[in-house]
Amino acid sequence: MTGLVIDQALPDDLQQLVDLENRCFQLDRLSRRSFQHLLTHGHAFILKAVLENRIVGSAVVLLHRSTPLARLYSLAVDAEARGHQIGKRLLQQAEARALDQGCSFMRLEVRPDSTAALNLYRNSHYRDLGTVADYYEDGAPAFRMEKALSGGANFARSKAPYYAQTLPFTCGPASLIMAMKAQQPDLAADRSTELDIWRESTTVYMTGGHGGCSADGLALAAHARGFDAEILINTKGDDIFTSSVREPEKKEVVRLVQQDFRRKVNAARIPVKTTTATSSDLRAALDDGKTPVVLISHYRLTGSRAPHWVTVTAADDHFIYIHDPEPDPPENRFETDCMNLPVADSELDRMVNYGKDRLSAAVLISRRK
């Protein structure tokens, strides 16, 4: 289309972007507040397609902290301007901009009944990752799709299913569920199991509120369910997570819990290796058929300084992949942004140290021999 210009959207474009969104979509619209945040503060970029001083198309792309992952959150083209490949040009420009910013993957969701959009994505070499039930406001499902932006390279993919934690303090149980299901696909994955594991592995207290889970506790929970577990941890003491607990009485409770866990670990003959879990260790575990559950500092992924458990799902020559069990829709982090996250080895080596004590912990899960 002659005269069409695609460029970065600016804060002054806010009203036109909102008007375009309202013209293009009846449901699941981006709000004015969301556009304003993404234009000024969001870890994202918005492209606009301009014709005769009027915005006739837009592409909203979210960028993921510390990983080479981009997500096409919205692609809108005015009905009066369709049929001129504006959507295709916006998509190509969005991919190029994401690649320039270090992204290797673009992900998206699309309605199964959106034939034009599906054709565009499939013709642009996006591949299906699966279907998400009840995704849209009207209950319609979504197809989840992905494209490798780095020259069509073959990237590793895991068969480990994704399970999102259902409570703020159950990242450890959710990660363990995913690791066990990678080893035993018919294992139950539900909130009851999640809570059972939390009760068995919690440290009771944490930075505030309910406690998280220790490596020893998670290893014992896996062992009780018929799996082999191996612990990698860089401390021999009982002061695990105590630096994040302010009250002396609570610190003592955490120490007592850890002491009890370690006695039970020793009684069960669960191997414990005193070491920092590096990306090389995690790759070796995957090569041996094990599924690692790893403690990270969530700060590098989300800005949160809380300790956080994730599941390592696969590795290739480019990245190590993780399932992060904690989506956060209000912060534009959905399951699509949390599953099989590609992370460079050097970045993961920075993630696997939590707090001022630089605690490192991992539990390697495998089928019992």
Q: Is residue 221 part of a domain?
A: yes
Q: Amino acid identity of 331? A: E
Residues 51 and 142 in one domain: yes
- Decide: 244 and 209 in contact? Cβ < 8 Å: no
Q: Is residue 216 part of a domain?
A: yes
> If you search the block for the tokens 């390697």, which residue do you land on?
364
Which CATH number does the domain housing residue 71 bear? Answer: 3.40.630.30
Q: Is residue 13 part of a domain?
A: yes
- Decide: 341 and 323 in contact? Cβ < 8 Å: yes
pTM assigned to the model: 0.83
Residues 42 and 105 in one domain: yes
Model pLDDT, residue 152: 47
Which regions of 127-267 does DSSP assign to beta strands (E)?
Answer: 127-132, 142-148, 227-233
- Decide: 44 and 38 in contact? Cβ < 8 Å: yes
Last residue of a domain, one of 115, 148, 181: 148
Residues 314 and 217 in one domain: yes
How far is residue 111's CA from residue 354's CA, in Å, rounded to a whole number? 40
What would the DSSP string read from start to end of 60-95?
EEEE-TTSSEEEEEEEEE-GGGTTSSHHHHHHHHHH
- Decide: 245 and 207 in contact? Cβ < 8 Å: yes
Identify which of 38, 43, 69, 53 has the alpha carbon closest to the alpha carbon of residue 7: 53
How far is residue 246's CA from residue 253's CA, in Å, rounded to a whole number? 12
Residues 136 and 235 in one domain: no
How far is residue 325's CA from residue 222's CA, in Å, rounded to a whole number? 18
Residues 212 and 322 in one domain: yes
- Total domains in the chain come to 2
How far is residue 110's CA from residue 101's CA, in Å, rounded to a whole number? 24
Question: 3-class SS at 309?
Answer: strand
- Decide: 345 and 320 in contact? Cβ < 8 Å: yes
Last residue of a domain, one of 88, 113, 148: 148
Q: CA 252, 258, 262: angle at the middle one, nearest 5?
A: 145
Residues 189 and 130 in one domain: no
Residues 359 and 252 in one domain: yes
How far is residue 358's CA from residue 235's CA, in Å, rounded to a whole number? 10
Residues 218 and 362 in one domain: yes
Q: Is residue 101 part of a domain?
A: yes
Strand 291-297 relative to strand 307-315, pairing = antiparallel
Which CATH number does the domain housing residue 326 bear? Answer: 3.90.70.10
Model pLDDT, residue 297: 87
Q: Is residue 164 part of a domain?
A: no
Q: Is residue 162 part of a domain?
A: no
Question: 3-class SS at 252?
Answer: helix
Low-confidence ranges of the chain (pLDDT < 50): 152
Residues 259 and 303 in one domain: yes
Q: What share of the chain is helix, strand, coil (3-state, %, to 5)?
A: 35, 25, 35
**Range of 302's domain?**
171-367
- Burial state string for 79-106 with b = 16 or more CB within 10 A and e = fewer than 16: eebeebebbebbbebbbebbbeeebbbb
